[in-house]
Amino acid sequence: MNTPRLIRAVAFFAVLLLGSALGGSASARSLTTGPLVEHFDGTSWTQVAVPSIQYGLDAVVAPSATDVWAFGVSRVALHWDGTSWHRVKLPTSRDSAAPGFWGASAVSSDDIWAVGNVSPAHAPEHGIIDHWNGSRWQLVPFTVPRSELYGIAALSANDVWAVGDASVSTSSGYERLALTLHWNGTKWKQVASPNPAPSSMPSSSVQNILSAVAGSSSHDVWAVGQYYLWANGVRGDRALVVHWDGSSWKIVPSPDLVAKHVSFLNGVAAPSATGAWVVGGINRHNARHALASRWDGGRWGVVRVNGPRLAGVSALAANDAWAAAGSGFYSAPGRIMHWNGHLWSLATKLDSRRGLGAVAEISPTDVWAVGGRFTH
């Protein structure tokens, strides 16, 4: 069974950082990472120089062409002002190790959110939420102990969703339950969400995790991730898709192809109510493959895409979407895929020492992807 963080392929650089404690291999532990930023100008992808931080980048948000933010396992964010990248300090708990920021979203250049988790020296690990008001970053409190946050979607100043999981104590240990939080403009409130992993399994095996969230309106929000199934002779991860209709979260069935295999979802984009994308990975025939599924307004359908597991997706229109493929831990070079309305094609393939974790599209001629550089 996957350990909790290893399930989070979207944060694979954190896996490299923490090594065998989270199920990594000796080769993964020997890797050191640094930030990687790639940019598309409408013609080609190129690597862009960034200030040094110790590890790779796992999240990127781009309110405008002169305002792009990237985050990772660090107390600083990287900011693009239209000319160059700069380091900006982030507020975190003083007694914690460097936080891991896995998701980011923006309403505007003066309303940006970033989420992740921190590990205080004398307290359980818990989620962290930072907010940018146009002049500085602030730590925004919320009250869910033993939580981790992986994704966030800012629809408006008073309508923001954050997702992840929370560990709940049981008589035999802890269960990991899906966590959804909502910001109403004043405070964060936990909202009930479904958990398909049956509580009849051993507590250590009950895992319901939401990795990403996106929405086209206040009554059309999607969150995705995975849950662990161990019942009736079936054992392994299954893709999880839930939808907010304005009043409650409900599970939406994945395509039959996905439901029959070990699978998980890392990213979601929802440019419209009839054109959402989810991406991740699926294991078939003893091999790992990229997974992309599209919502047409009535059901999810798998769309063929080649290559390794996908870590993130960004879309502006029905004929324009980008997806980033990870590297490093899964021994595959980073890739960027593009959807033109008919098929996914390879836009660029990186060398084996560069991997990608997230992508953000500003326009068809202005796209950013972030990840990490690593060596043995």
DSSP string, 141-156: ----SSEEEEEEEEEE
The pLDDT mean for the chain works out to 86
For the CA atoms of 324, 180, 17, 337, the dihedral, rounded to the nearest 10 degrees, stands at 0
HSE (side-chain half, CA atoms, 13 Å) at 298 = 0
Identify the pLDDT of residue 164: 97
Round to whole Å and give the CA distance between 337 and 344. 6
Identify the pLDDT of residue 74: 93
pLDDT level of residue 285 (50, 70, 90 thresholds): confident
Q: Which residues make Cβ contacts (< 8 Å) with residue 232, sequence separation at least 6? A: none
Alpha helices by DSSP H, listed for 110-240, are none
Phi, psi of 259 (to 5 degrees): -65, -25
Alpha helices by DSSP H, listed for the chain, are 4-7, 12-18, 26-29, 256-259
Q: What is the pTM of this model?
A: 0.90
Q: What are the extents of the domains in the chain?
A: 4-375
Closest CA to 60 of 375, 374, 372, 368: 368
Say which residue the tokens 């999607």 belong to: 222
Say which residue the tokens 């923490």 belong to: 18
Beta strand 147-156 pairing with 188-191: unpaired
Q: Which residues make Cβ contacts (< 8 Å) with residue 331, sequence separation at least 6? A: 352
pLDDT level of residue 16 (50, 70, 90 thresholds): very low
Phi, psi of 248 (to 5 degrees): -160, 160
Identify the pLDDT of residue 101: 96
pLDDT level of residue 332 (50, 70, 90 thresholds): low
pLDDT at residue 375 greater than cutoff 90: no
Output the DSSP codes for 236-268.
EEEEEEEEE-SS-EEE-PPPHHHHTS-EEEEEE
Identify the pLDDT of residue 234: 64
Element (H, E) at 351: none
Q: Edge-to-edge, what's the strand order for the sheet holding 126-132?
A: 100-108, 111-118, 126-132, 137-139
Closest CA to 145 of 170, 128, 162: 128
Say which residue the tokens 């326009």 belong to: 363
Round to whole Å and give the CA distance between 254 and 240. 8
Identify the pLDDT of residue 284: 79
Round to whole Å and give the CA distance between 100 and 112. 17
Q: Which residues make Cβ contacts (< 8 Å) with residue 15, sequence separation at least 6? A: 5, 6, 8, 22, 23, 24, 28, 329
Of the listed ranges 34-48, 73-87, 170-184, 301-315, the least confidently predicted one is 170-184
pLDDT at residue 340 greater than cutoff 70: yes
Alpha helices by DSSP H, listed for 126-252, are none
157 within 8 A of 107, measured Cβ to Cβ: yes
pLDDT level of residue 64 (50, 70, 90 thresholds): very high
Query: Which amino acid, 348?
Result: T
Name the CATH architecture for the domain at 4-375. Answer: 6 Propeller (2.120)
Query: Which amino acid, 327?
Result: S
Looking at residue 199, the DSSP 8-state letter turns out to be T
pLDDT digits (tens, 9 = 90+) for 89-137: 999 877 677 799 999 999 999 999 999 999 887 777 899 999 999 999 9
Phi, psi of 110 (to 5 degrees): -115, 25
Phi, psi of 204 (to 5 degrees): -65, -15
Q: Which residues make Cβ contacts (< 8 Å) with residue 286, sequence separation at least 6? A: none
